[in-house]
């Protein structure tokens, strides 16, 4: 099944097979929720291309489908969310690209100096409702596992943590996405509400995949969601976050890390060069 939108093309059946989706295709809230849930459980977050010195610039449907679907790779926000956008638009949803400033894990949080707008999410509207939802299938270890209503203060009870959006600024031109961890609402990013063209996403992707101090260039990250847990890999350290607590595993060497990338995260490492040697060069002591 191939859908065409001008010059944009995507094989929907291949994508459905990749994420193991067998549900409906009508543009409804149920379909949107099911697609997000399936996507984050089957396509991992990973930064192997920037780590291996390969810039991520081509965000076309053909390039994203070849990498994330046919080659059974993962990617980061620009890849995940642009692929999701093409799928949703092909099914009849309206989906706009939004840019965000990440504050997650920042010691100063919302009070610190502004970070660059180097994260992409989506504003998705279900036909006939006029109600937008935040969809983000590419935020790594804290990726929302369901659509988030774009209504300030409304809590989305996802299959994992609750999420909510808060207005920011007197003119409400920005939202802050927060998630409840323990008893504390923690900010993830500041979301701009102005729809952004693809070229802005290409510039952002080029920057984070080539800037020498970028986390995607200087370190290794991978993440995937299961029904019970979040698997988050940073360098040699794997954290498995579940409702009963967190299990932490520290791998001895790059060979063990590469086994995890293949076996746990399902990433095909063939054709990427000497991944083990590159991973060894960025592992912490």
Contact yes or no for 3/25 (Cβ under 8 A): no
Catalytic residue among 11, 39, 77, 241: 77
Any idea which residue has 């060979």 for tokens?
255
Catalytic residue among 11, 39, 80, 119: 119
Contact yes or no for 9/61 (Cβ under 8 A): yes
**Would residue 258 show up in a list of annotated catalytic residues for this protein?**
no
**Would residue 89 show up in a list of annotated catalytic residues for this protein?**
no
Catalytic residue among 39, 89, 136, 241: 136
HSE-up of residue 246 (Cα within 13 Å, Cβ side): 12
Reduced 3-state DSSP string for the chain: CEEEECCEEEEHHHHHHHHCCCCCCCCCHHHHHHHHHHHHHHCCEECHHHHCCCCCCCCCHHHHHHHHHHCCCCECHHHHHHHHHHHHHHHCCEEEEEEEEECCCCCCHHHCCCCCCCEEEEEEECCCCCCEEEECCCCHHHCCCCCEECCCCCCEECCCCEEEEEEECCCCCEEEEEEEECCEEEEEEEEECCCCCHHHHHHHHHHHHHCCCCHHHHCCEEEEECCCEEEEEECCEEEEEECCEEEEEECCCHHHHHHHHHHCCCCCCCCCCCHHHHHHHHCCC
**Would residue 119 show up in a list of annotated catalytic residues for this protein?**
yes
So which residues are the catalytic ones? 77, 119, 136
């Amino acid at each position: 099944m191939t859908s065409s939108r001008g010059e944009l093309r995507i094989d929907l059946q291949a994508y459905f097979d990749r994420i193991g989706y067998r549900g409906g295709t009508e543009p409804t809230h149920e379909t949107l929720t099911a697609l997000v849930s399936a996507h984050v459980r089957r396509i991992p977050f990973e930064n192997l291309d920037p780590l291996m010195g390969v810039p991520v610039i081509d965000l076309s449907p053909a390039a994203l489908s070849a990498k994330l679907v046919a080659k059974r790779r993962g990617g980061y926000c620009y890849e995940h969310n642009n692929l999701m956008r093409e799928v949703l638009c092909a099914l009849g949803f309206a989906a706009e690209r939004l840019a965000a400033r990440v504050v997650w894990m920042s010691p100063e949080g919302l009070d610190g100096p502004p970070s660059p707008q180097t994260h992409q999410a989506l504003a998705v509207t279900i036909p006939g409702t006029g109600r937008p939802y935040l969809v983000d299938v590419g935020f790594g270890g804290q990726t929302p596992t369901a659509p988030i209503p774009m209504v300030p203060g409304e809590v989305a009870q996802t299959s994992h943590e609750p999420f909510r959006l808060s207005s920011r600024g007197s003119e409400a031109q920005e939202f802050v996405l927060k998630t409840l961890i323990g008893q504390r609402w923690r900010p993830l990013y500041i979301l701009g509400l102005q729809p952004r063209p693809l070229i802005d996403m290409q510039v952002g992707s080029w920057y984070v995949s080539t800037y020498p101090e970028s986390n995607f260039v200087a370190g290794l990250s991978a993440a995937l969601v299961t029904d019970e847990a979040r698997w988050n890999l940073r360098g040699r350290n794997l954290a498995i976050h579940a409702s009963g607590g967190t299990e932490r595993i520290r791998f001895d060497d790059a060979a063990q890390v590469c086994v995890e990338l293949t076996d746990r995260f399902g990433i095909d490492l063939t054709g990427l060069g000497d991944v083990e040697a590159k991973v060894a060069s960025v592992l912490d002591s």
